[in-house]
Amino acid sequence: MIPLDSHPSGRHFLQIPGPTNVPDRVLRAIAQPTIDHRGPEFALLGKAVLAGMKRVLKTEADVVIYPASGTGAWEAALVNTLSAGDRVLMAETGQFAVLWKKLAERLGLVVDFLPGDWRHGADPAAIEARLRADEGGAIKAVCLVHNETSTGVVTRVPAVRDAIDRTGHAALLLVDTISSLGSIDYRHDAWRVDVTVAGSQKGLMLPPGLSFNAISRKALAAAKSARLPRSYWDWSEMLAINPTGYFPYTPATNLLYGLHEALDMLFAEGLDAVFARHDRLAEATRRAVRGWGLEILCADPSEYSASLTAVVMPEGHNADNFRKIVLDRYDMSLGQGLGKMSGRIFRIGHLGWFNELMLCGTLAGVEMGFASAGVPHRKGGMQAALDYLAATPVRELANVN
């Protein structure tokens, strides 16, 4: 067991933007006995979770489930559709974009990396300009991170889709939704995304260990001629057997029990209500940050993330020192600054299995942490969040959305 000597009482507050809090219902589902993955019962489970994932992804297209973290599904999206030396267009929105780029380069792809300041989403106009300049059609794919988890910034995927369409360019559109799916509206079919990449441990409320690809017809066609070596990640073996509810190799059976339960919870609440809940808790968080007199990393309000908020530390104060004090004194984990934001920001996760009073506890921990760590701030951030939550009924907001 992990020693819990300093805070043995009450729940730990896991407010990193993934892994997120796993609902008790999901934990209980995962604790069921493992069954034969080639037996009759399993087929029902396999079919149900594949159908449920299509519903969350808003697609009629094929979906595959890997026993892997999100990084595996990143690799799968690339190796199934591309060949060594192919050009791909990516945008430097933050650390996750940087990591996907590195992965692509290790596979032998040539990445055109649109520079960014880590405070904005991918720029549709810049993508349009690059594609227009690519008269020979050398660029085979545009890769986007929908919700950049390292910065709390959302890329407007439909605007990028429109930009690609205006150029008439044939590039595939590949989108990472690892920290947006189940928290922020996303539409694989309506936005004509070719490969969607998703993961289990963020908005889907599961532990880490599952990841997903949703695959358009155009991506399936590209897979026929793609020449990057692939075996474990190959879609074709999955797609051949999935309609029967089975998998070509041993699936993560117990995580699939959890997925089944988590999908039930999302559909019972209603996806629109889930998104409205995330919007509301995110807005309350931003009001708290402004109330403290601190800066939100995301520079454009139309790109605010409903999954997390990244907060810029006042000059001369280290975010990791602050986070350590919050953990030691209040038993709460906040997200660290990643890559070049290390020490400069901290991230408040407000996604997944989360509600108003959990948010209030989180914000109280942050405000007390500022006082404990001697971080200059104004009083009243917490109060601004409470006032907002008390004054705006949930149902009205859900109807507006």
Ligand X SMILES: *Cc1c(COP(=O)(O)O)cnc(C)c1O
Sign of torsion over alpha carbons 283, 285, 286, 290 = positive
Tokens, residue 171:
């590039």
Query: How many residues at the interface with ligand X, by CB under 6 A?
Result: 12
DSSP output for 189-243: TTTT-SEEEEESSSTT-PPS--EEEEE-HHHHHHHHH--S--STT-HHHHHHHGG
For ligand X, give the closer residue by CB, 81 or 149: 149
β-strand pairing of 62-66 with 87-91: unpaired
Could you list the beta-strand ranges (E) of 305-377: 308-312, 332-336, 345-349
* Smallest distance, ligand X to C-beta of residue 146, A: 7
* Smallest distance, ligand X to C-beta of residue 98, A: 11
* Smallest distance, ligand X to C-beta of residue 304, A: 16
* Smallest distance, ligand X to C-beta of residue 186, A: 12
For ligand X, give the closer residue by CB, 308 or 313: 308
Across-strand partners of 29? none
Does 96 contact ligand X by CB under 6 A? yes
Taking each helix axis from N to C end, the angle separating 124-133 and 157-167, rounded to the nearest 10 degrees, works out to 20
Q: Which stretch binds ligand X (CB under 6 A): 55-63, 176-184, 246-254, 390-398?
A: 176-184
- H/E stretch holding 89: strand 87-91
For ligand X, give the closer residue by CB, 100 or 330: 100
Does 157 contact ligand X by CB under 6 A? no
Does 149 contact ligand X by CB under 6 A? yes
CA nearest neighbour of 285 among 266, 304, 270? 304
Question: Which residues, 6 or more positions from 381, have their beta carbon under 8 angstroms from its beta carbon?
Answer: 287, 288, 289, 290, 291, 292, 293, 294, 363, 366, 367
Q: Phi/psi class of residue 292: alpha, beta or left (left: φ > 0; alpha: ψ in -120 to 50)? A: alpha
For ligand X, give the closer residue by CB, 96 or 330: 96
Does 205 contact ligand X by CB under 6 A? no
* Smallest distance, ligand X to C-beta of residue 121, A: 12
Q: Is the distance from CB of 187 to CB of 314 less than 8 angstroms? A: no
Tokens, residue 46:
């396999």
For ligand X, give the closer residue by CB, 18 or 182: 18
What residue is closest to ligand X based on CB?
A: 70
- H/E stretch holding 176: strand 172-176
- H/E stretch holding 90: strand 87-91
* Smallest distance, ligand X to C-beta of residue 325, A: 25
For ligand X, give the closer residue by CB, 59 or 149: 149
For ligand X, give the closer residue by CB, 71 or 336: 71
For ligand X, give the closer residue by CB, 199 or 369: 199
- H/E stretch holding 142: strand 139-145
Tokens, residue 44:
């029902």
Contacts of ligand X in 181-200 (CB under 6 A) = 199
* Smallest distance, ligand X to C-beta of residue 80, A: 17
Does 209 contact ligand X by CB under 6 A? no
Does 176 contact ligand X by CB under 6 A? yes
Does 70 contact ligand X by CB under 6 A? yes
Applying CB under 6 A, among 23, 207, 208, 339 the residue interacting with ligand X is 208
Contacts of ligand X in 2-41 (CB under 6 A) = 18
Does 69 contact ligand X by CB under 6 A? yes
Residues in contact with ligand X by CB under 6 A are 18, 69-71, 96, 145, 149, 176, 178-179, 199, 208
